[in-house]
Structure 1
Amino acid sequence: MKSLTGKVAIITGGNSGIGKATAKRFAEEGAQVLVTGRRQDVVEAAAVEIGQDAWGVCGDVAEPDFHRRLADMVQRRFGAIDIYVANAGVINLEGSATVTEAEFDRHFDINARGVFFGVQAIAPLIRDGGNIIVTSSLAATKVLPQHTVYAGSKAALAAFARNWAIEFKDRRIRVNILSPGPVETEILSKLGVSDADRPGFEAHMAGLIPAGRMGRPEELAEAALFLASKGSFVNGMELIVDGGMHLT
C-alpha cells in the first residue's frame, strides 16, 4: 500500500517550487492534496498537473481570514485532514540599511504570521496522530549575505514548531521543520538571477555546497514525505536539507 493512501494534505504555496514537488510526491503516495497560492491561474494549473486528487485554492496566507475561510471549506469537503505543510513564503535579498518598513512587514506577514495563523485555523481539523511540517530555511541558522530580514522571519518558525509539538502532544500531532538550502526553483528569477546569469550563479553556489550542486525540489519533497510518513517518531525537530552547506 502507498504510504499516504487515505490521507488528506494541505500544502500552502503548493503551486510552485518545493511546494508543488511535495504535492506531487504526496499524491503519488495516495494522498488527496489541496494546494494554495496567490494567483488563480497558477494554482489551477498546478492542481491539474498534480492530478485528479488535487484541488487548488487561491488566497493570501498573510491574511488570517483566508485561513479561516480555507478551514471552513476543508471541513465541508473533507471533514478532517492528516497533514498540513506550511510552505508558502517570500524572499527579497536586501542589506539591513536599505530595508523598508513595507518590505520588513511583507516578510513577517507571509513567512511568520501566515504560518502561525494557518496552523491556528487548521489544527482543529487535523486528525489525532496527524502532523504539521513547517518550511523554514538554512538562512534561519546560517548567516548569509543580505538575508537578515528573511532569516529573522524564518527563524521564528522553529520556535513556533517546538511549542506546537508540546501543545499538540495530547493529540499525538507531530510538528517538524524542513529547512532547505539553495534549491533550483522559480524563485531564482524572482531574486533577479536572469537566464543568462543562471549557470554562473549555480556554479558559484555549487562551490559553497559540499554536495557540489544545488538541491532539486524533488529532493525536498522526499524529505517532506519522510516527515509525513516514515518519520513517525520524529517530533519537534529541524531537518536541514542543504547538501552540507551548513558545515561550510
Structure 2
Amino acid sequence: MTKYAGRRAVVIGEATGIGLAIAKRLVEGGAQVVLTARTAEERRGLCAELGSTAQVVPPSGVTACLGPGGEIDLLFADSVATACQLRSSLRDGGAVVLTAPGPPSAAVQALASELVSRGIRVNAVAPGCIEAPGGGGTPLPPLGRLGAAEEVARAALFLATDATFTTGGHLPVDGGLSRP
C-alpha cells in the first residue's frame, strides 16, 4: 500500500499506544516518519519494529532530524504547544492532527485560524477509554468495550489525509462517552 508515499510525517507524543499505531500505518503506507521516544531503549526497539523509513528520535531531536529547510506534510502532536514549535516546518497544504482528550480549546482554534492561509488544516482527535496495559477499573463507554489505539490512529489519519475540507474540527473517539 502506498497511500502515504512521498509524504513526510512527524509523530510526537507517546511512542506507545496511539503514536505508535499512527506511525505504523504511515510506514505501511509508504511515508517517511519521524517518531519521538524518550529513552534510548525505546528508540532502539521502535527502530527495529518500524524499519528503515522511520527515524526514532528523542523529543528534543525532531528539529535537528529534519535538517535545514526540512518540511513536514503531516504532523501528529499531543499538544498545541508542540505543534506551534514545528509550524514553520509545515509544508503549505499539510495537516496537523492533535491527539488530546477533551473538547477543542481556544488554542486549537487559534492555530487553525493562523495556518488556514497556508492551506494547512488543523484538527483534533479526542481519544477516550482506550485499552492500556494493566488499565483495569476504567468505566466502559456506551459501546460496551474499551477502544484500541488502532481505532484512534485510523481517525487521526482520516483527519490528516482524507478530511481535506475540514479544519478546526474535533472528532471524539471515545465510544460515546462525550455524547450528551
Shared fold, TM over 0.5: yes
Query: Counterparts of 1:40 and 1:12 in 2: how far apart (Å)?
Result: 16
Q: Say which of 138, 144, 154 aligns to 1:212.
A: 144
Pair 1:73-2:65 in alignment? yes
1:27, distance to aligned residue in structure 2 (A): 1.3
Whether the 8 Å contact between 1:15 and 1:47 is mirrored in structure 2 is no
Whether the 8 Å contact between 2:43 and 2:56 is mirrored in structure 1 is yes
- Runs of 4+ with >6 A deviation: none
1:46, distance to aligned residue in structure 2 (A): 1.6
In proportion to residue count, which structure has more helix? 1
Query: Counterparts of 1:36 and 1:179 in 2: how far apart (Å)?
Result: 20
Pair 1:123-2:123 in alignment? no
Identity rate of aligned residues, in percent?
35
TM-score (norm 2): 0.90
Query: Counterparts of 1:6 and 1:14 in 2: how far apart (Å)?
Result: 24
Query: Counterparts of 1:160 and 1:71 in 2: how far apart (Å)?
Result: 22
TM-score (norm 1): 0.67
In proportion to residue count, which structure has more strand? 2
Query: Counterparts of 1:34 and 1:158 in 2: how far apart (Å)?
Result: 26
Unaligned stretches of 5+ in structure 1?
60-65, 88-111, 142-156
What whole-Å deviation, never above 9, does each CA across 1:19-39 have from its counterpart, x for those lacking one? 101110111121111111211
Query: Counterparts of 2:124 and 2:105 in 1: how far apart (Å)?
Result: 7
1:244–1:215 Cα change, 3 Å: same
Whether the 8 Å contact between 2:8 and 2:72 is mirrored in structure 1 is yes
Q: Say which of 160, 165, 172 aligns to 1:233.
A: 165
Residue aligned with 1:247, SS: coil
Query: Counterparts of 1:43 and 1:19 in 2: how far apart (Å)?
Result: 13
Query: Counterparts of 2:122 and 2:148 in 1: how far apart (Å)?
Result: 24
Question: 1:1-248 counterparts in 2 under 5 A?
Answer: 2-59=2-59, 66=60, 69-76=61-68, 79-87=70-78, 115-116=80-81, 118-137=82-101, 140-141=102-103, 158-186=105-133, 189=134, 193=135, 198=136, 201=137, 205-206=139-140, 209-247=141-179
Query: Counterparts of 2:105 and 2:142 in 1: how far apart (Å)?
Result: 25
Whether the 8 Å contact between 1:35 and 1:47 is mirrored in structure 2 is no
Letter matched to residue 168 of structure 1:
L
Computing the radius of gyration from Cα coordinates, the structure with the larger value is 1
Query: Counterparts of 1:121 and 1:20 in 2: how far apart (Å)?
Result: 21
Query: Counterparts of 1:213 and 1:30 in 2: how far apart (Å)?
Result: 32
Query: Counterparts of 1:2 and 1:185 in 2: how far apart (Å)?
Result: 30
Query: Counterparts of 1:36 and 1:182 in 2: how far apart (Å)?
Result: 23
